[in-house]
């Protein structure tokens, strides 16, 4: 069984943008609706994945992800996925041994910047970078599955 323990924070400023930060361009669409579970297809630069995720207690979820052909993913996103698609650039930043993923959203979610970090266990001490703002791990509206239904531009 695959499992993920993840915390989410709003990003206060651009001080995380330093030379050498790696980026990944993403487009994703959901094939199901609901908070209890999600099925999505995502392209990441020139690769594609299908992902199945449960929703448990905010920071802990079951997650399964498999690579699929890019061409199939692009067709699914264009012809089947719910609208609007989630479009963002993800930046990878390492802070005190933890790999942070900073999502800068575009399209209907432009203006939203969220940082996520996966943890080895729920009780681990997490040193917060100066650019990490309010924690939103328990706020469903900041999850991509919610942003598809209720985009940031409508808040």
Domain containing 34 — which CATH number? 2.40.320.10
Q: What is the mean pLDDT of residues 28-48?
A: 91
Q: Please, what is the Cα angle at 152 between 110 and 32, to 5 degrees?
A: 110
- Residue closest to 50 by CA, chosen among 35, 30, 24: 30
* 64 catalytic residue (yes or no): no
> Percent of the chain, pLDDT > 90?
77
More confident call, 65 vs 121: 65
SS3 151: coil
**Per-residue CA distances from 61 to 3, 35, 65 (Å):** 6, 11, 13
As for how many domains the chain has, the answer is 1
Could you tell me if 137 and 128 are in contact, meaning their C-beta atoms sit under 8 angstroms apart? no
Catalytic, out of 30, 91, 142, 143: 30
SS3 107: helix
Query: Is the predicted pLDDT of residue 75 greater than 60, yes or no?
Result: yes
Q: What is the mean pLDDT of residues 76-85?
A: 96
In the numeric block, the tokens 């681990």 are attached to 124
Residue 48, exposed/middle/buried by CB under 10 A (0-12, 13-18, 19+)?
buried
Q: Which pLDDT does position 38 carry in this prediction?
A: 87
Q: In which domain, by residue range, is 59 found?
A: 3-154
Q: Which pLDDT does position 78 carry in this prediction?
A: 98
Q: What is the mean pLDDT of residues 65-85?
A: 97
Q: What is the mean pLDDT of residues 139-153?
A: 93
Q: Which pLDDT does position 39 carry in this prediction?
A: 94
Tokens of 145: 């599955």
């Amino acid at each position: 069984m695959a499992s993920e323990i993840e915390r989410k924070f709003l990003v206060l400023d651009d001080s995380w943008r330093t030379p050498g930060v790696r980026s990944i361009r993403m487009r994703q669409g959901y094939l199901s609706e609901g908070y209890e579970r999600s099925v999505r297809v995502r392209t990441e630069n020139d690769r594609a994945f299908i992902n199945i995720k449960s929703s448990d207690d905010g920071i802990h979820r079951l997650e399964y992800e498999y690579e699929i052909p890019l061409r199939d993913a692009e067709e699914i996103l264009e012809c089947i996925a719910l609208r609007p698609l989630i479009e963002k650039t993800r930046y990878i930043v390492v802070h005190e041994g933890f790999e942070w993923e900073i999502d800068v959203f575009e399209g209907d979610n432009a203006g939203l910047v969220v940082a996520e970090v996966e943890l080895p266990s729920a009780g681990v001490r997490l040193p917060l970078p100066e650019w990490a703002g309010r924690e939103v791990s328990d706020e469903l509206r900041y999850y991509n599955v919610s942003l598809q239904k209720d985009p940031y531009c409508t808040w």
